[in-house]
Structure 1
Amino acid sequence: MERLFDYVGHFGRFQALIYFSSAFQAISCGIHYLASVFIAITPKFICRAPENISSVLLPNASTLRLEDVWELWTPKDYLVVKQENGDIWELNQCSRFKRENTSYLTYSYDGNKTLFSCSNGYYYDNTNLESSIVTDWHLVCEREWLAKLIQPTFMFGVLIGAVIFGDIADRVGRRLILWLTSTGQFLFGIAVAFTFDYYSFVIVRFLLAMVSSGYYVVVFVYVTEYVGIKARSWASMHVHAFFAVGVMIVSLVGFLVRTWWMYQIILSLTTLPFVLCCWMLPETPFWLYSQGKHKEVEKLIGTIEKWNKISTPCKLSELCSVQETQKTEMDTLKKHSVLDLFYNWSFARRTVTVWLIWFTGSLGYYVFALNSVNLGGNEYLNLFLTSAVEIPSYIVACFGMDKIGRRNTLAPFLILSAVICGIIMLIPQDHSTVTIAMSMGGKFSIAVAFGLIYLYTAELYPTIVRSLAVGSGSMMCRIGSVVAPFCVYLTDVWIFMPQVSSCHHLYIHIYK
């Protein structure tokens, strides 16, 4: 079947239309994968007093308005507030004390006081944020762990979706899965904004993750099976560029819209045109041929020839030998599973190596992306830049693959990303500009390796298990992406701890 492209062109008008119609939807995958970065922002907060406040004291300042304290207040300080009824309270982030003696108002106090929980909720700094799910559902203090599970549970849904939809696409076809998952992304994306509590939010986001992952896995196979070998590396690699554009949209919308549910609706609505494009996609000739649907293949070839203005028509019998056709028909009678990826020792070794690269690439990629908002400076600009740097990385990857091959491009950039992680740990914390620049370099390097492995995997396996191979590799990738948020949370221990973790895993893989 590969000879088909020698007749109809490797990237003609028909393939270009199919490519952009399917790849544009990858923008929505990038949007939903990283949307939680700004949905679950935790602003400065402090325990709420029972009644209205008349005055506020800080260690070296006083004011009548709580809104004025956030620039001066730090979490290690407590606030002293006097209520309109005369009660005086000391407010910490997760607790509060009521003073017994209310005859005078000072910051320091040595008298008796009673400890209370934050049963009245919290005050939040709304200077740069209208609302997030953290402020709406009070996911702080003893409920902080719920907020930290949002991204890992999403990535767990991505993992499940990669396994399920990668397998189903080999059985029922690429087109049906692209239709269902693209529609699901739009519907579940809108539904997230209307969830009424934390648990419904997590459930709907989990379903959104499954369909987003399903689309992203299958679209790579779809693009690979419509583009000839001469243009395949460029076409498949730049699907990742659409994903990066989606993350850039997240940073732009996050900067402009500071109310989480409105932010989610706007992000989801931007994907609607791409959903409509997916409904015009035909099935791939490779899958139709693998299922023995030869008449449909010939009809599709005729359509491609018409669009690409091919004057000399070709027949399926000219592309495939009788023996190849009979073998394909026998293969369609077999049901394939993950065990087929370990068919023999050569296949097994190949599969294990590919899975390791998927895991380490994903871990490094998402650590750099998620941790970009913790590096200092403007978090929206940081995320935008670390996403924008991906686009030239895919161009470099394509040139590398064409000139020196897949493997010789993959290995050096894995090593370079590990080295950059080590360098970042040596940079003083107050040099945020240097840290951001090095993080962009690390993201550039890991994006080359991470983007290349999709195409590499698709080319290493035959058609009948290609989606399964990419899907299972994506499953290992998502295990890395589930682990990545927990690595980012280690910034509470040390700001560069995420780099320590990802660097460790990268070095382990390199030396294996």
Structure 2
Amino acid sequence: MSDFGEILKAVGEFGPFQKRLLVLICLPNFFMGLHLLAQVFTGANVQHFCQTNWILNISAGLAEEEKLFLTLPEGRNGSYQQCKMYKPNPDKDIDWIRLHGSQSTVACEEGWVYDTSQYTSTLVTEFDLVCDANWLNQLSRSCSMFGLFAGALLFGPLADRFGRRPIVLLSLLLQLVSGVGAAFVPNFNLFIALQFVVGASVSGILINTFVLGTEWSGVSQRTLATVLSHCAFAGGQIVLAGLAYGIRDWRMLQLTISCPMALFFSYIWVLPESARWLVTKGHYKAAKKHLMNAARINKRVVPETLLDKIMTEKEIHQATLLDLFKTPRLRRVTLILISIWFINSFVYYGLAFNVQSFGTNIYLTQLIFGLVDMLRGFCIWLLNKFGRKKCQGGFLLLCGISCLLMLAFPEGMQIGVTILAVFAKLGISCSFSTAYVYSAELFPTVVRQTGIGLVSMSARIGGIITPMIALLQQDYPALPMALYGTALIVLSALCALLPETVNKELPDQTREMNSKNDLENGHNQTVAENGNLIKKRQWQNTADKNYQEKQFRMKQQQTMSQGPGFGQSTNGISGRDNNCRDPTVTVLAAIHRLSTEQELNLATFV
């Protein structure tokens, strides 16, 4: 929509209005970083053993180490098994047990004893999510990712229909209610259900706030708006490491990150709607009102005639999800973006949820990962310097190579693995930010939110699968990194098929996504044809003018040779002045000139 682009330039592409909007967008994204990764700490695994107090009934004075030695079988690396215990012999005395012991093992019968040196309480310790119930902890993470999937499926099309602003407000309300409610759940099933709602609300906030910022920003500042909102998300991860270090009870941690969401009730009065979306939906008066408000805040004066352009927009094309697959170019772009978002989420959360495997201190590793995510701010310069396509492929390749190189390090070399994990996290974080910018620029406005919702759904499918891969890692340690690295390298090659969008105006209608070369050739051909037609008409006008001047001179000579009585009629009526032309010549010339001007106007319009 070139007209809207002109209006946005007049209003201000990144003035005080857009800067205020960026702050409003970054604040919710900060809390999304807290909520989305909080379960790294609230659901952290801790050291645990079977409860074996039965032996204390025989000998109450046993030391803790001797009690474990007599009741638990030895596991790997000299440690005790966490899910097995020796079959109790309550009818024997302690001397017999020390002498003969027991050779048969059984599953834990009286529950578990947890190490509380690091965490006072976690989901694992409160709901016994260990041994055969260990998969429930991963299930809760998958439900959170499934909530992200459902949120993208639901809130993307709803935002295209009802607007970005109301969906953001609804998502913030759901985030507050479900986040606070999760801190008071009496059982784990209810916690899983609320995690689903939390995930759905996070999805609604993330995809709609970044689109809102993109549609209000000028061509040169779209990358800045998107990347800075992602840096706010990384800031949430950094703060999460500090909060989790200071608050070791999972319910208090959940309350701490959820209660401040009540501040976002003020967004009812301060969050604007997307003027670009309003125009595409035909709400011209509302769009004009928002644009005038933005111009006032930016201290710009916008000509009324320029604003009136939005009142004369062409017909509004109501697009649907199927429009993303109707044209070959848009279909190819959509399928590649679906793949990019799927792999981005699959790898990003695979690394984020596996933070305990990359170092000895979970808090320090989480802090490093958060700082690495902040480095995605350099994407602003890289994306503008090298373009979207090269950066997207390069970031995917960096992460893929780092994941495969991690397989070359033996199990004991934690420092080398941590360094490569940092590079992998940097690559996938930058790739995710690039995908957000790239997708917003590739999808037309009429289906932008639907398209973002679609690719976001594919990302959430990747997030749903990630915890299940973590379960396979127990039996196949090299499987996750091998899958990550291979998929990333293949996908980086597919980025070559995407068009470049740097410093280009956002498309508004799906018909603008036809073949770029065809459009340029057609435009050049039309201009050339119009130029030739104009030159031809100009030549005809010059020839006609010369002909009329020649006829006028000939008539003047005839008048002078016939004397002053020429032109006077026989009935006494006065004739024309000597300087006038023959009426027949004048009328024919006027008709010819009029037709020529009409053709010229038509050629210029085309």
Query: TM-score normalised to the size of structure 2?
Result: 0.75
Matched, 1:479 2:461: yes
The answer as to 2:378 corresponding to 1:369 is no
Q: Out of 489-498 and 218-227, give the one that drifted further.
A: 489-498
User: Helix, strand or coil: the match of 1:429?
Assistant: coil
Q: Distance in 1 between matches of 2:244 and 2:470?
A: 20
- Per-residue deviation, 1:439: 0.8
Which protein is bigger by CA-based radius of gyration? 2
Residue 204 in structure 1 maps to residue 194 in structure 2? yes
1:258 aligned counterpart, secondary structure: coil
Supply the AA of the counterpart residue of 1:42: N
Aligned position for 1:298: 288
Which of 321, 339, 346 is residue 329 of structure 2 equivalent to?
346
Q: Which one of 31, 35, 39 corresponds to residue 32 of structure 1?
A: 35
Task: Give 1:4 deviation, angstroms.
Answer: 2.0
Is 1:469 aligned with 2:455?
no
The letter of the residue matching 2:475 is V
Mapping 1:254-273, distance limit 5 Å: 254-273=244-263
Question: By how many angstroms is 1:116 displaced?
Answer: 5.6
How far 1:197 moved relative to its partner? Answer: 0.5
- Counterpart secondary structure, 1:357: helix
How far 1:432 moved relative to its partner? 1.2
How many Å apart are 1:434 and its aligned residue? Answer: 2.0
Deviation track 1:350-406 (CA, whole Å, cap 9, x = no partner) reads 11011111111111211221222222221111012112111122x222112111110
Which has the higher mean CA deviation after the structures are superposed, 45-54 or 405-414?
Answer: 45-54
The 5 Å alignment of 1:328-347 reads 328=316, 331=317, 334=318, 336-347=319-330
Paired residue for 1:360, among 329, 333, 343? 343
Q: Which residue of 2 aligns with 1:408?
A: 390
Partner residue of 1:234?
A: 224
Partner of residue 570, structure 2: none
The reply on whether 1:509 has 2:495 as its aligned counterpart is no
| Matching of residue 222 in structure 1 with residue 212 in structure 2 | yes
Equivalent pair of 2:344/2:459 in contact (CA under 8 Å): yes
Matches within 5 A, 1:122-141: 122-141=112-131
Label 1:276 to 1:433 Cα distance change in 2 as closer, same or farther (>3 A).
farther
Check conservation: 2:337, 2:439, Cα contact below 8 A.
yes
- Give secondary structure in 2 for the equivalent of 1:225: helix
TM-fit CA distance, 1:271? 3.3
Aligned ranges 1:378-389 → 2 under 5 Å: 378-389=361-372
1:4 and 2:36 aligned: no
Q: Name whichever structure is richer in strand by fraction.
A: 1
Distance 1:396 1:114, change over 3 A: closer
Q: Hey, what's the Cα distance between the residues in 2 that align with 1:55 and 1:398?
A: 66
**What residue number does 1:46 align with?**
49
C-alpha RMSD over aligned residues: 2.6
Paired residue total: 485
Code of the residue aligned with 1:35 in structure 2: it is: A
- Structure-1 separation of matches of 2:460 and 2:230: 16
Q: Does 1:282 align with 2:272?
A: yes
TM-aligned CA deviation for residue 156 of structure 1:
0.7
Structure with bigger helix share is 2
Q: Secondary structure at the match of 2:52?
A: coil
Q: Secondary structure at the match of 1:492?
A: coil
Taking the aligned partners of 2:311 and 2:34, their CA distance within structure 1 comes to: 45
In 2: Cα distance, 1:55 partner to 1:492 partner? 37
Cα distance in 1 for residues equivalent to 2:394 and 2:240 = 30
Corresponding residue for 1:85? none
Compared CA separation, residues 239 and 161, structure 1 to 2 (3 A) = same
2:600 counterpart residue number: none
Distance of 1:356 and 1:458 partners within structure 2: 16
Question: Contact 2:343 / 2:462 at 8 angstroms: preserved in 1?
Answer: yes
Deviation of residue 5 (structure 1)? 2.1
Q: Is the 8 A contact 1:302 1:313 kept in 2?
A: no
Q: 2-side partners of 1:276 and 1:105: how far apart?
A: 71
- Deviations, residues 77-133 of structure 1 (Å, cap 9, x unaligned): 687xxxxxxxxxxx9634442126633448865466776653422111111111111
1:163 aligns with 2:153: yes
Task: Indicate how the Cα distance of structure 1 residues 234 and 378 shifts in structure 2: closer, same or farther if over 3 A, else same.
Answer: same
Residue of structure 1 in register with 2:16 after alignment: 13
The one-letter amino acid paired with 2:349 is Y
Decide whether aligned partners of structure 1 residues 288 and 122 sit closer, same or farther in structure 2, where only a CA change above 3 A counts: same
Rounded Cα–Cα distance in structure 1 between residues aligned with 2:221 and 2:481:
35
Any idea what SS the aligned residue of 1:128 has?
coil
Q: Give, in whole Å, the separation in 2 of the partners of 1:349 and 1:357.
A: 12
- Alpha carbons of 1:138 and 1:252: their partners in 2 closer, same or farther (altered >3 Å)? same
2:278 paired with 1:310 = no
Following the alignment from structure 1 to structure 2, what is the Cα–Cα distance between the partners of residues 19 and 109? 72
Q: Aligned to 1:123, what secondary structure does the other structure show? A: strand
Quote the offset at 1:224 in angstroms: 0.7
**Distance (Å, rounded) in 2 between the aligned partners of 1:280 and 1:23:** 14
What secondary structure, in the 3-state scheme, does the structure 2 residue paired with 1:186 have?
A: helix
CA-to-partner distance for each residue in 1:419-477, whole Å, 9 max, x for gaps?
A: 11111111222221221121111111111111111111111121110001111011111
- SS of corresponding position for 2:315: helix
Cα distance change of structure 1 residues 279 and 479 upon mapping to structure 2, 3 Å threshold: farther
8 Å CA contact 2:7, 2:307 repeated in 1 = no
Partner deviation per Cα, 1:3-22 (whole Å, 9 max, x = no partner): 22210111111111112112
1:439 is aligned with what amino acid?
A
Name stretches of at least 5 consecutive residues in structure 2 with no aligned partner.
Answer: 495-606
Give me the whole-angstrom Cα distance separating, in 2, the residues matched to 1:485 and 1:103.
46
Shift of 1:209: 0.9
Residues 280-307 of structure 1, C-alpha deviations (whole Å, 9 max, x = no match)? 2121101111121111122112111111
Is 1:434 the counterpart of 2:424? The answer is no
Q: Is 1:47–1:96's contact at 8 Å kept on the other side of the alignment?
A: no
The superposition leaves residues 143-166 of structure 1 with CA deviations (integer Å, 9 ceiling, x where unpaired) of: 111112111111011001011100
CA distance in 2 between partners of 1:479 and 1:21 (Å): 29
Distance in structure 2 (CA, Å) of the matches to 1:195 and 1:436: 36
Q: Which residue of 2 aligns with 1:87?
A: none
Report the AA paired with residue 396 of structure 2: L
**CA contact under 8 A between 2:135 and 2:471: conserved in structure 1?**
no
Q: Which runs of 5+ in 1 are unaligned?
A: 80-90
- Aligned residues: percent identity? 27
CA deviation after TM superposition for structure 1 residue 226, in Å: 1.1
2:355 maps to amino acid: S
Equivalent of 2:25, from 14, 22, 26? 22
